[in-house]
Chain A
Amino acid sequence: MQSARPTPSEPTGRALLKGLAFASPFIIGFLVLYLWPILASGYYSLTDFSLFKAPKWVGLANYERMISDAKFWKSLYNTLFFTFVGVPVDIAISIAGAHILNQKLKGQPLWRALVYLPSIVPAVAAGFLWRWLLNAQYGFVNEILRWFRIPQPNWLLDASWGGISVIVLMLWTVGGTMLIYLAALKNVPQELYEAAELDGAGPLRRFWHITWPMISPVTLFQVIVLIIAFLQVFTQPFVLSKDPGLGTQTATGPGDSMLSYSIYLFQNGFTFLKMGYASAMAWVLLFVTLAITLLILWSAKKWVFYDNR
């Protein structure tokens, strides 16, 4: 019986061709659907291009224009605000929630399913739901704040609260991160906690000296994934800000506080027909994401603990 796998006696070229043939669905898909659009957008970013007319070479003009484009800076600022406030809060809630889910409580599987439930609700549907929850006059969120006599902000029509509203909506799907942390917590050896307890370590010391280092590889992964998601945020601010009933039809929110980078990129490409400028913005976003990711990976040497070292 002959093996289907290439044998050492088979000519190397033939084996290579066979391998390429098997890998071709991915290779072709990658070249056509990923690499080509990436390279094309790089070229378009150096042109005046509108989707309909042939691109006209303008060199670095699109990149130069960004320097004096106030809305570009506003969208970048907003997006970095969403990211640098939203990601730490997301991580903190996830770790806290994972600890609660890790307790031996009755009906634990049900609680775990419930925290994940928002993650399977489509973002647009969630946006419409939260638009009512955050309504300054009739929303449940302000109603709860009223019970506790806490001032009730005008979440969707006050420039200082628009960005916070976007973060709140982003945090609604925190359950996904929480469950990954739950899996990480279950992998922490119990004997470490027992030893620490014998040495008199309290809950905070046990968390800081055992849990945090042991789940730090997961934290590194989560931080990078969340940063990428927050930097590309589109649907949440788009839905929250686009409400004809409120009279705001700009998709940018009060004081442009919900104008995310991706929304401004979309506006330039598909509303203003400035696809060259939109492509340049996409490349800047790529480099911003890359820079932040590399910075985090560099810093990881100091705070991420791998127990196989």
Chain B
Amino acid sequence: MERKAQAGAAHAAMSTALGAVMLLGGALGASAQDKTEVTFSYLWGGAEGAALEQIITDFNASQDKIVVKGVSSPDMTKQLASMSSAKGAFDISDNFASNIASWANQGILLPLDEFGLDTADFPESAMKQLVVDGVLYSVPIATHNFQLVYNKKLLDEAGVTPPTSMAELADAIKKLTKVDAEGNVTQLGLGLTDISAGLKTLGYAHGGDWNRDGKPTPTDPGFVEGVQFYFDNVVAPVTPASYNKFVAGFGPYMSDQDSFKQGKIAMVFEGEWRAKFNTEAGMDWGVVQVPGKTPELNGSTWADVSTIFIPTNTQNKEAAGEFLKYLISPPAMEKFSHVLANLPGRLSLVDSATYDDLPNFKVWLDALKNPNTHGLPPALYMAEYNADLASAFDSVLQGAQTAEAALQGVADRTGSYSQ
């Protein structure tokens, strides 16, 4: 009898538990169904992706109508292919400013003007790249610029102070470059971890511009001079063969084998994300603004922008717009840019104390307000132009052509670019 009662009680408890689970499941299911699901496909991965997921979690917790699902997808070709179909795989995504004009021209980016965003707080150098024919197609979530990062230990050993002019930079390169008895380079005074970014920066520092008034200007005298400066002061003294042999030994970027971390290069033009990496790597390092050919050109650099956009084929335009507003809101942007050690896309955050724990970050932050920080005008031909410039830079570093001849070769091809 007791056993029967126990069995009955067990059945009743099980039924109640099952019922509760079913009710809870139903409630959750209903709750999820009521919410509009927004898919956010982002190019970041690793620690950056994790930071973004935290922001998505914060947003979802604050919402009862929208739920955002984050997908890390670093393949840009897949991103582009998804935007070619009637119904895309995502509702909101990120890319770089250099692609915005071309994509806007293809009609695959949703104009953002209808969301009533206040753009006054975004840096002019960034906005210049995101507004195409007066229409806003993308917004900055982070900005980037390049400054002269140096290895303090190596400079101290060579008795070199951080250069503040182009003449001092040339002198520092000479003193910091080391070659062994067999003619092998063992240390470069100035290296390039990103050839294109470094040589473009040198072009600006010589008063040049590789893209003036919306036209490709590869033979701009200042730009040519900047590229030739690198060859004359870094490559030629050690010979192109020795230079390229040494560079071949560079390990993967921002890894334990990173060339700057390993002390293989004493100075390098680098973006602000280096602040976090160098510090975590335990390096003794410093940064100064890019020295100019003349004092007025000191601090010359260029701004790249990480942008957020909504594709035209989104199925959830309004919800994606809400999430976009949240992503670029000061608290979310501050949190995101701080974790990644990226510059914020808002001028009001430049003086935020949040970034104080990132050593030397102020040099990059200050550049956001510097008139010598160049933004690229929107252009349809950027992808082709950048590919051709990369080939020309390589030709110069190989010692196959002078900067003038190599960049003239690029100029000869610009006629076939999309305009």
Contacts and interface: CB of A to CB of B under 8 A. Distances in A.
A273 interface: yes
A271 B80 CA distance: 9
20 contacts: A52-B84, A52-B107, A71-B391, A71-B413, A135-B249, A136-B249, A137-B245, A137-B248, A157-B247, A159-B398, A245-B252, A246-B248, A247-B194, A248-B195, A249-B195, A250-B387, A250-B391, A255-B400, A271-B387, A274-B418
A52 B244 contact: no
A219 interface: no
Contacts of B77: 270
B241 A256 contact: no
A70 interface: yes
A250 B391 CA distance: 7
A65 B416 contact: yes
B249 A70 contact: no
Contact of B195 (A247, A271, A274): A247
Interface residues of B, number: 42
In order of increasing CB-CB distance, the 4 nearest A-B pairs are A137-B249, A136-B248, A52-B106, A250-B390
B241 A158 contact: yes
Contacts of A50: 106
Interface of B: 77, 80-81, 83-84, 102, 106-108, 192-196, 241, 244-253, 255, 257, 259, 383-384, 387, 390-391, 394-395, 398, 400, 409, 412-413, 416, 418
B106 A53 contact: yes
A34 B323 CA distance: 41
B118 to A, nearest CB: 30
Nearest to A259: B391
Contacts of B194: 247, 249
Given A247-B193, A254-B394, A135 B253 contact: no
B244 A157 contact: yes
Q: Which of A138, A157, A247: most chain B Cβ within 10 A? A: A247
A158 B242 CA distance: 11
Nearest to B393: A250
Give the size category of A's interface with B. 35 or more
A217 to B, nearest CB: 41
A244 interface: yes
B96 to A, nearest CB: 13
Contacts of B84: 51-52
Nearest to B395: A255
Nearest to B242: A154
A289 interface: no
A267 interface: yes
Contact of B250 (A246, A255, A274): A246
Contacts of A267: 387
> Which applies to chain B's interface (DSSP): helix, strand, loop or mixed?
helix
Interface in A218-266: 243-250, 252, 254-256
Contact of A154 (B195, B248, B252): B248
Nearest to A70: B413
Contacts of A243: 252
A206 B83 CA distance: 62
A138 B416 contact: no
A244 B241 CA distance: 20
A243 B384 CA distance: 20
B252 A244 contact: yes
A53 B107 contact: yes
Contacts of A158: 241, 244, 398
SS of A interface (majority)? loop
B387 A254 contact: no
Interface string A131-157: 000011110000000000000001011
A140 B400 CA distance: 28
A307 interface: no
A50 B391 CA distance: 24
A12 to B, nearest CB: 44
B330 to A, nearest CB: 32
B418 A69 contact: no
Contacts of B413: 70-71
Contacts of A157: 244-245, 247-248
Given A245-B253, A273-B106, A156 B391 contact: no
Interface in A155-172: 156-159
A65 B417 CA distance: 12
Contacts of A70: 409, 412-413
A36 interface: no
Nearest to A157: B244
A84 interface: no
A197 to B, nearest CB: 52
Contacts of B107: 52-53
A255 B253 contact: no
Nearest to B254: A244
Contacts of B383: 271-273
Contacts of B259: 245
B179 to A, nearest CB: 15
Contacts of A51: 80-81, 84, 106
Contacts of A53: 106-107
Given A255-B394, A272-B383, A273-B418, A246 B247 contact: yes
A137 B83 CA distance: 43
Contacts of A246: 247-248, 250
Contact of B394 (A68, A138, A250, A272): A250
Given A137-B248, A250-B391, A255-B394, 18 more contacts: A50-B106, A51-B80, A52-B107, A69-B416, A70-B409, A154-B244, A156-B248, A157-B245, A243-B252, A245-B253, A245-B257, A247-B192, A249-B194, A252-B394, A256-B394, A271-B383, A271-B387, A272-B387
Contacts of B412: 70
A69 B192 CA distance: 30
Interface string A72-110: 000000000000000000000000000000000000000
B250 A247 contact: yes
Given A53-B107, A247-B192, A138 B80 contact: no
B108 A245 contact: no
B253 A244 contact: yes
Contacts of B106: 50-53, 273
Contacts of B416: 65, 68-69
Contacts of A69: 416
Contacts of A274: 418
A10 B374 CA distance: 81
